[in-house]
Amino acid sequence: MKKIENLTVEFLEHLEIELGRSQKTIENYHHYVKRFLQWAKISAPDQITLDLVRKYRLYLNRLEDEKGHLLKKTTQNYHIIALRNFLKYLAKRDMSSLSAEKLEVGRNPQKEVEFLNGDEVGRILQCVNGEDLKSLRDRSILELLFSAGLRVSELTGINKDQINLKNQEFSVRGKGDKVRVVFVSDTAKQVLERYMSKRIDIDQALFVRIMKNPQNKEDLRLTPRSIQRIVKYYAHRAGIVKDVHPHTLRHSFATDLLSNGADIRSVQAMLGHSSITTTQIYTHVTNRQLKDIHKKFHRKK
């Protein structure tokens, strides 16, 4: 029988080749499975038992980081999901081990979603009113984050030639390598057109660093960290006391759609969520609408 370390390597290769998982996902699975094996000190798949996994879950629940903080329930669940997928792979290979179906993943605590209301978004956008290249770039970034509900990694990955301003739509490649169509609002289109008309560099990226020498051959594409700094800067200038990130604008995009009557399935498609469960973190909006409906229609006769 193969050593479990060799099977782990083959499992990670299976994720990459057969399942087409991203490099980040593979790194995470490697970390989670490796932690289990280092703790369990086993050499063969048939040594993985339900009792062993129960003790491991207890270990994870009591595990502290260097600052003395316990692992979040969500992070603990990621460890078990990775282990369960490893067990499924072992079963495919006809390896004798614990059945993956016997592992139950705990429920994740519901997330508190931080979002901006329409007035707060408007205040941030009004802070960027110049017509110089940097101002137009920053306004375009903010408009597009809110207009299309993009993840920051999706925004930084956009090239100039893939955005169709005439049709006000373009495709992005999101999590799990899934492609979806996103849409550009009228105001975002206008700002993007002005920004693009001032670009004289030859970089293919849509959003780039502003250089004194635009013919510089180095990669000018903005990083997610740069976008985060830009968003925080203008939120601070607008006097927003919330901790605003690029993802806050994505949350605000979803909240804005739902509060104006969009159905949750449409919002799921526009956000690129593979599961409706993920989109349901925005039920703070739908719950409020349900309350209004109840108040308006209940016992009116």
- At residue 247, the pLDDT reads 92
- At residue 69, the pLDDT reads 87
Q: Which of 79, 139, 151, 251 is catalytic?
A: 151
- At residue 248, the pLDDT reads 92
Q: Which of 35, 199, 221, 247 is catalytic?
A: 247
Four-way CATH pick for 118-294: 1.10.357.10, 1.10.443.10, 1.10.760.10, 1.25.50.20: 1.10.443.10
Q: Which of 84, 139, 250, 251 is catalytic?
A: 250
pTM of the model: 0.67
Q: What does the pLDDT look like over 105-157, one tens digit per residue?
A: 877 666 667 888 889 999 999 999 889 999 999 999 999 999 999 999 999 99
- At residue 33, the pLDDT reads 95
- At residue 214, the pLDDT reads 59
Q: Is 175 a catalytic residue?
A: yes
Residue carrying structure tokens 């635009």: 214
Q: Is 14 a catalytic residue?
A: no
Q: Which of 78, 89, 234, 282 is catalytic?
A: 282
Q: Is 151 a catalytic residue?
A: yes
Q: Which of 88, 175, 209, 232 is catalytic?
A: 175
Ranges of each domain in the chain: 4-102, 118-294
Q: What does the pLDDT look like over 165-180, one tens digit per residue?
A: 999 989 988 887 788 9
CA dihedral over 151, 202, 171, 141, signed as positive or negative: positive
Q: Is 237 a catalytic residue?
A: no
Q: Is 291 a catalytic residue?
A: no
Low pLDDT (below 70) residues in the chain: 1, 108-112, 213-217, 284-301
Domain 4-102: give its CATH superfamily: Tyrosine recombinase, N-terminal domain (1.10.150.130)
